[in-house]
Structure 1
């Protein structure tokens, strides 16, 4: 690769730390994060002395610790190297950026936004840095930052019209055609490039999936793959694309009004739909206490799931997040901070449902509006009287923030036909297996690439997804 700050070694990523020590790290290392760092390294990390903390990790790894402990240290070390790349805007620069749009903005207003947790930040070597997309996060709350330009993407009226039609008609169906692309312009001649792009998977909502066109010699994973992809291996191609079509059916049931599906599915939940999946779906003491309080006195599984959804949508505020590999115990941290994005909220709902004895699982892919397409995550849950249903906590939280109670209720038990489902389990592996470390070791919505066995970072890839066509087809529940 022409742009390299992480170099290849034996099919794994090699992270070049500030002290120049190379350490292998892979996706599976992130499954051991909950083991935790030694207290002396954790103190350095929490204080933001990342250079010293990485050096301490290097010294520890040279002592050949227990394999699972070593995996945790490698993952934590990599997270510390990545942190300054995403928390890259200094306090002074952040204030300057806001003043470019809002000249009257003051230092005190910035500190107030920090105090109210509207801006995500980290201390790095004694200085406060904020997340590189902090302005986008602030635009979610236009009343609090009236001097900033509003978010240019606004399909609220179109979305609400679609949801009203869905509720009136009992459901909607769409046939959608998408084109996904990924390229690695920095790959050098002779380097082996492998690419994976997400495609629509067979699931409860999706059917009639067709691959219409793709870069030659691609391989399509099985229709029911947990993270379905189109993939390629090439020493000459540097750009890859796939065009696919699918039908998505979105039934509507007024769960709050007692209108349940007439023909609930048979129980197809699995043991993993009710168990921990550490480190992020973890039954921590606080989550157990919180869940017990939220579902107290409720025996019915549907009532429990609804109580959890109500608690989360009424209390959690939306916040743009850094890459998930930088986050700690995602569900537990969300429950403590009451902040999160779509995936963070989905994982918190899943975790609390499982603690409450309600089977729940992950779904993710794309939100496909007529005027924009982007990554999105949500959840599924199972009750005996309904079968599997969906819950979109982040959309419910957004509806509460905008004072649209009807829409908040809609997203418990229902979604909409503006979706593409590619993934049905958090931290699912690829088929065929990824040969380095993924840019996102937990999910796949925009695609991944490796070059000579080294996973590429986001800044090394060009990725896009384009809506080619969407049209309505008759809905049948």
Structure 2
């Protein structure tokens, strides 16, 4: 069902919110049904509650599967000398994402992977069965550092990439003989992407979207065969410039597009306006301002894997308040 997510800006009724925070998702759904079926409510609130029915389905599903004991077992089995007190601390400082489900703490499905990616001290304690994995991680980091130095020295870099992409129906959904319509994404040509070339496909392509299509795909239309796999192999050049920003070279003409609000996530809330004013101060140079906002995000906000974005009412405000995202 299509949902107009702009209605996520509408607040939830207090009784719905209390049940949601406690993690009583069955009770939350029951309360929402009461509002929708028994009360004469404004259309804006009705649409908000209809969206919340979907949100609760995600939150109460497999987004937070691990109980406290299960999370502790994951950490102690993967990290050397991990202690219960460490998990308590990670929970207390919101480094390990958690919610209440029926009043009990549950951790997010990727909480362990998130900690390993964002906290080097924990990454060093991972119990690795294969030493080659640790060696490969070191190689990858060196490649990244070398690439940064190369781009600074040469003003950018072009990389040639070749990709083979496939898709097939799961066996339980396979309907042999049925006409199917299949799309596989391919690159569009724009400032950074050029020399897009299709090398192979299976079956024969029915239609290729033009180079400037907003969402470019190849399209297959055929009668489905048993165990049929749809494949496209293509290559392209990807170029990125390295630009050393100089506040003294700022143009007097600044962009005026894509600056408007777009609910629910591009909203100039009172808190975000206060944060903007605090970071900007009396500065007017766009590059210096951009650097201040960049520094806030990269030094004050902890990078973190997030739960499904659909369940967050306003992503930038969530990030600026919780200092993670």
Instruction: Check whether TM > 0.5.
Output: yes
SS at match of 1:250: strand
Distance 1:283 1:202 in 2: 33
Q: Name 1:208's counterpart in structure 2.
A: 195
Partner of residue 252, structure 1:
242
The answer (yes or no) to whether the contact 2:205–2:220 under 8 Å persists in 1 is yes
Post-superposition CA distance 1:103-159 (Å, at most 9, x none) = 632222111011122111111111111111211111121314653347856211011
Q: Name the structure, 1 or 2, with higher relative contact order (CA <8 Å, separation 6+).
A: 1
In the alignment, is the contact (CA less than 8 A) between 2:303 and 2:324 conserved in 1? yes
Equivalenced residue count is 309
Structure 1 unpaired stretches of 5+: 1-24, 341-477
TM norm structure 2: 0.83
Alignment of 1:201-240 (within 5 A): 201-215=188-202, 216-217=204-205, 219-232=207-220, 236=224, 239-240=229-230
Residues 46-104 of structure 1 show CA distances to partners (whole Å, capped at 9, x for unaligned) of 22111111122233333585554333222211111112311111111110111112363
After TM superposition, the structure 1 = structure 2 runs for residues 311-460 of structure 1, keeping only pairs within 5 Å, are 311-340=296-325
Mapping 1:48-447, distance limit 5 Å: 48-62=23-37, 66-83=42-59, 84-102=61-79, 104-140=81-117, 141-144=119-122, 146-149=124-127, 154=137, 155-185=140-170, 186-189=172-175, 195-215=182-202, 216-217=204-205, 219-232=207-220, 236=224, 239-255=229-245, 271=257, 273-340=258-325
Taking the aligned partners of 1:224 and 1:37, their CA distance within structure 2 comes to 42
Match among 6, 9, 13 for residue 38 of structure 1:
13
Report the 3-state secondary structure (helix = DSSP H, G, I; strand = E; otherwise coil) of the residue aligned with 2:190.
coil
| Greater fraction of residues in strand | 1
> Partners of 1:146 and 1:94 in 2: how far apart?
19
2:261 is paired with a residue of what secondary structure? coil
CA distance in 2 between counterparts of 1:333 and 1:246 reads 37
CA contact (8 A) 1:89 1:132 kept: yes
Question: Whole-Å Cα distance in 1 between the matches of residues 101 and 173 of structure 2?
Answer: 32
Report the 3-state secondary structure (helix = DSSP H, G, I; strand = E; otherwise coil) of the residue aligned with 2:173: coil
Residues in 1 aligned to 2:42 and 2:220: alpha-carbon distance in whole angstroms: 36
CA distance in 2, matches of 1:218, 1:46: 50
SS at 1:280's partner residue? coil
Give, in whole Å, the separation in 2 of the partners of 1:182 and 1:330: 32
Tell whether the 8 Å contact from 1:201 to 1:223 is kept in structure 2 after alignment: yes
In 2 relative to 1, CA 53–148 (structure 1 residues): closer, same or farther, beyond 3 Å? same
Q: Which moved more, 1:184-193 or 1:90-99?
A: 184-193
Which whole-Å CA distance do the structure 2 matches of 1:197 and 1:67 have between them?
A: 38
Runs (5+) with no aligned partner, structure 2: none
Cα distance in 2, alignment partners of residues 66 and 115 from structure 1: 39
> Displacement of 1:220 after TM fit?
4.1
Moved more, 287-296 or 175-184: 175-184
Higher normalized helix content (fraction of residues): 2
In structure 2, distance between residues paired with 1:111 and 1:135: 14
Query: TM-score w.r.t. structure 1 length?
Result: 0.58
User: What SS does structure 1 have at the residue aligned with 2:62?
Assistant: helix
- Two-structure CA RMSD over aligned residues (Å): 2.9
Kindly state the Cα deviation for residue 164 of structure 1 after the two structures are TM-superposed: 0.9
Which range is displaced more, 88-97 or 66-75? Answer: 66-75
CA distance change for structure 1 residues 244 and 70 in 2, over 3 Å: closer, same or farther? farther
Q: Deviations over 1:312-364 (max 9, x none)?
A: 11211111112211222100000011111xxxxxxxxxxxxxxxxxxxxxxxx
Task: Name whichever of 93-102 and 226-235 sits farther off.
Answer: 226-235
Give the whole-Å Cα distance in 2 for the aligned partners of 1:235 and 1:259.
62
Provide, for residues 177-220 of structure 1, a one-character-per-residue CA deviation record: whole Å limited to 9, x for no partner.
Answer: 22233333031427776554433223321222233334444544
